[in-house]
Amino acid sequence: MSTYPRYTAPVAPVTWDVPAAGAARFSWEYDEGRERLLALYQKGKDKQWDAGTRIDWSLDVPHGRPLGLPDEAIAIYGTPTWDKMSDANRDELRHHLASWQFSQFLHGEQGAMICSARIVESVPDLDAKFYATTQTIDESRHVEVYARFVHEKLDVVYPINEHLKVLLDQTLSDSRWDIPYLGMQVLIEGLALAAFGLLRDMTTLPLPKQILSYVMQDEARHVAFGRLALRDYYRELTDAERREREEFAAEGCYLMYERLNGAEVWSNLGLDRRESTELVMKSDYFRAFQTLLFSRIVPCMKDIGLWGPTIRSAYQKLGVLNMADVDLGAMMAADERAAEDLDRARARDAAREEAALAARRAEVAATIAAGTPAPAEPADVAEALPAIP
C-alpha cells in the first residue's frame, strides 16, 4: 500500500527538489590515503548487513505501547490534560508519538542517504569518497528499516517536520563541500544518535530495540567519519571561515531544539497545540531528554575545532555547554558493543530454544517408543486377519 494515504496531513505526491550547488570533484590520486579513513572504509565494508534477515520482523508491536516506554516518558504525563484522557485516548497518544518520532527518523535517514551521496560527489579526497560510498549503502538500509517499521507496525506516518526540512535544505543547497558533513554527520546524525540511544535503552520491546541498536552500530562509524575528515580540514581554515561554520551550526542547533516538542501530534489528536507545547516545555522529563540529545553534538563540535565564541554562546543559551567534555569515543564504542551484545544474546536464546525443542522431540519419541507394542511376527499377523471366503 502507498505511503501517501497513511500520512496524518496531506502530502503532495511530488518530489521535494533541492537545487544542487557546488562542484563534482574528481581526484587523480589513487594510491594515497589517510590510514584511519581507509581503516574506517574497510570496517564499513565488513559491517554491512541485511535488514530483512538480521531483524526479526515477526515480533509484535502493541498498538497502545508501540515502544514499551513508561508513561513518565510522555511530556504531558501527570498534567490535568493527561488526567482527563481516557485509556483509549492515551493508547492513541502513545501510538502517535511513536509514529511521529519514527517518521522523523525515516525522513532524516533519507536526508542522510542523499547527503552521503553528495559527499561522494563533492569531497576532494578519494579516501573520503571511498567511505562515503559505504555510508550511502548504510543510509539506504536505514531508510528501508524505518519505512518497514512505520508501514507494517505503526501504519501512521507524519510529514517531515518543517525545522528538519529547513536544516536539510540549508545543508544540501550550500556550495561548500564540507557543509553536508557538518550539517548531516555532526548535527542531524549526532542528534539522531542520541535520540536512538535513549529510546534503545528505555524500550522494553525487542523489535524497536533491534532496529535502534543495529542502526546505531552503523551511525557510530558515520560520526567517526565526519570527525576525522572535518578535523583535518578545519585546521586549515581562517578564523573567519571557522566562524561562518559555527554560525551555520548554531542556527542548525536552534532549529533542532525547536523541532523536538512534537507539536504536530498534539494538534493532530485534537489537543490545544499551544497549551500542550507549553506543558511540554515545562516538563522536567522533556528538559532532561532535550539536554541529553546534544550529548554527541557538543563534544563533536569541540573535537573538530569549531569551538569559538559563537558556538559556545549558542550552547550556553541552550543549556548544553557542559556536554563539551563527554567522552565521544567511549560512547561510540558502547554503541557498537550494544549491537554485538544483542546479537550474542539472540544467538544464545535461539540456541536454548533449539536445545529445548530437540529435548522435547526426544522425549516425545521415547514416550511413543515406550507405549507402542512390539511389531507382530508375520505368522501372528496372518492369524489375526479375518478369514477370506
Domain residue spans of the chain:
4-10+34-354
Contact 150, 157 (CB under 8 A): yes
Residue 213, pLDDT > 70, answer yes
Q: What is the rounded average pLDDT of the residues 136-143? A: 96
Q: What is the rounded average pLDDT of the residues 10-30? A: 88
Which residue in the block uniquely carries the three cell numbers 501504519? 155
Residue 10, pLDDT > 80, answer yes
Residue 360 banded pLDDT, cuts 50, 70, 90: confident
Whole-model pTM above 0.75?
Answer: yes
Choose the CATH number for 4-10+34-354 among 3.30.360.10, 3.40.50.300, 1.10.620.20, 2.60.40.60: 1.10.620.20
Q: Could you tell me which of 72, 77, 146, 81 has the C-alpha nearest to residue 109?
A: 146
Residue 383, pLDDT > 60, answer no
Residue 158 has a pLDDT of 95
Q: What is the DSSP string of 327-372?
A: -HHHHHHHHHHHHHHHHHHHHHHHHHHHHHHHHHHHHHHHHHHHHS
The DSSP call for residue 157 is B
d(CA 94, CA 117): 35
Residue 375 banded pLDDT, cuts 50, 70, 90: low
Sign of the torsion formed by the C-alpha atoms of 362, 366, 369 and 372? negative
Residue 386 has a pLDDT of 47
Q: List strand residue ranges (DSSP E) for 207-360, in order.
A: none
d(CA 116, CA 93): 34
* Residue 338 to residues 78, 209, 330, 341, 342, Cα–Cα distance (Å): 32, 10, 12, 5, 6
Contact 40, 220 (CB under 8 A): no
Residue 286 banded pLDDT, cuts 50, 70, 90: confident
Sign of the torsion formed by the C-alpha atoms of 83, 86, 87 and 91? negative
Residue 43, pLDDT > 80, answer yes
Q: What is the pLDDT of residues 72-129, one digit of tens each?
A: 888 889 888 899 999 999 999 999 999 999 999 999 999 999 999 999 999 999 999 9
